[in-house]
Amino acid sequence: MSKICVIKGDGIGPEVVDSAIEILNKAAEKFNFKLDYNYTLMGGIAIDETGVPLPKETVNAAKASDAVLLGAVGGAKWDNLPGDKRPEAGLLGIRKALGLYANIRPAKLFTPLINACPLRRRVIKNGLDLVIVRELTGGAYFGKKRTVTKDGVKSASDLMIYSDFEIGRIVETAFEIASKRKKSVCSVEKANVLESSRLWREIARKVADRHPEIQYSEMLVDNCAMQLVRNPSQFDVIVTENLFGDILSDEAAMLTGSLGMLPSASLNETSFGLYEPVHGSAPDIAGKNIANPCATILSATMMLRYSLGLSEAADAIEAAVEAVLADGYRTRDIAEEGCRVVGTDEMTELIKGKI
């Protein structure tokens, strides 16, 4: 029996996680495995109930589990708290505490959702199926932060710092993922300006030398932002540092036109991982039964695949999601003319029915 630490979080987090658990339970029945869920707190709800965004018990529960399934954290209610007390500090804290340095964000255009893509048809005629591998526990997010006032001038800084081993291991992850895909890695940095990027490039080249079977290229981050809208089919696996990856993964998500569909995995050097949708907590639509549960359901399939070794069940759930879309059902966020708009519950039932 695999132990899953569940963090529902805030906003639509609880409803999309409930939906993913229903799907997991259906798959467990069908494919004969058992999951044991341990519910814990993080984010705004943890601030309200325990006074901190990431209670120790949550970190301990996560460490004692095989994987973590997360909804989303944050909301206007907690927006005025200082940086280290905000719900997002819970997310950053758990990434660091569990050593989840490899953030895997696939951006795939589902064929039934091709009209959702904001790019012209001729730009995406070769499809869109890429993965952003984002370094998640280093860079400006975790470097030294300072705010100082000197001679009446207030200034603030966030140190973007990387060491060679942090770069090496994430670039290795990217090559490993590429070896199971189209065998191409593009390392993205700003080596024409940033010292940390120059080290990134030096280390990335060393890793590339060890994998001659994989095509390796380098791109400056500003150019990459442009190439993603100019010709996204050129990419297979993009590997980049934390802040660049945060920005580029939102851009890539928008290319699919369906943020509500995109899953993610954050892994450490073992098979342990935290799985969450790329979208946020969307407090404006929380509790209305209209949120799209697919991103969380697909995050759960990544969990089955990467942490639990249950790829057959993962395949079945992914096929079920595609089949429901192909039948013309859509949640409101991905609705288009001629489709049938359904709520969170109905979407979940439909997907269950196809497993």
Residues engaged in binding ligand IPM (CB under 6 A): 88, 91-92, 246
CB nearer ligand IPM, residue 10 or residue 246? 246
CB nearer ligand IPM, residue 274 or residue 347? 274
Burial tier of 76 (Cβ tally within 10 Å: 0-12, 13-18, 19+): exposed
User: Which residue has its beta carbon closest to ligand IPM?
Assistant: 88
Which tokens go with 301? 């399939």
Minimal distance, residue 130 CB to Mg ion, in Å: 17
Minimal distance, residue 26 CB to Mg ion, in Å: 30
In degrees rounded to 5, what are phi and psi of residue 307? -100, -30
Minimal distance, residue 98 CB to ligand IPM, in Å: 14
| C-beta of residue 61 within 8 angstroms of C-beta of residue 26 | no
In angstroms, the CA 30 to CA 313 distance is: 8
Residue 313 touches which of Mg ion, ligand IPM, none (Cβ within 5-8 Å per kind): none
List of residues contacting Mg ion (CB under 5 A)? 246
Residue 236 touches which of Mg ion, ligand IPM, none (Cβ within 5-8 Å per kind): none
Q: Which of 18, 66, 129, 250 is catalytic?
A: 250
Q: Which of 48, 84, 222, 327 is catalytic?
A: 222
Question: 2: which DSSP letter?
Answer: E
In angstroms, the CA 69 to CA 6 distance is: 5
Burial tier of 215 (Cβ tally within 10 Å: 0-12, 13-18, 19+): middle
In angstroms, the CA 308 to CA 3 distance is: 10
In degrees rounded to 5, what are phi and psi of residue 225? -60, -40
Residue 88 touches which of ligand IPM, Mg ion, none (Cβ within 5-8 Å per kind): ligand IPM
Minimal distance, residue 277 CB to Mg ion, in Å: 12
Residue 333 touches which of ligand IPM, Mg ion, none (Cβ within 5-8 Å per kind): none
Which residues belong to the active site?
A: 141, 190, 222, 246, 250
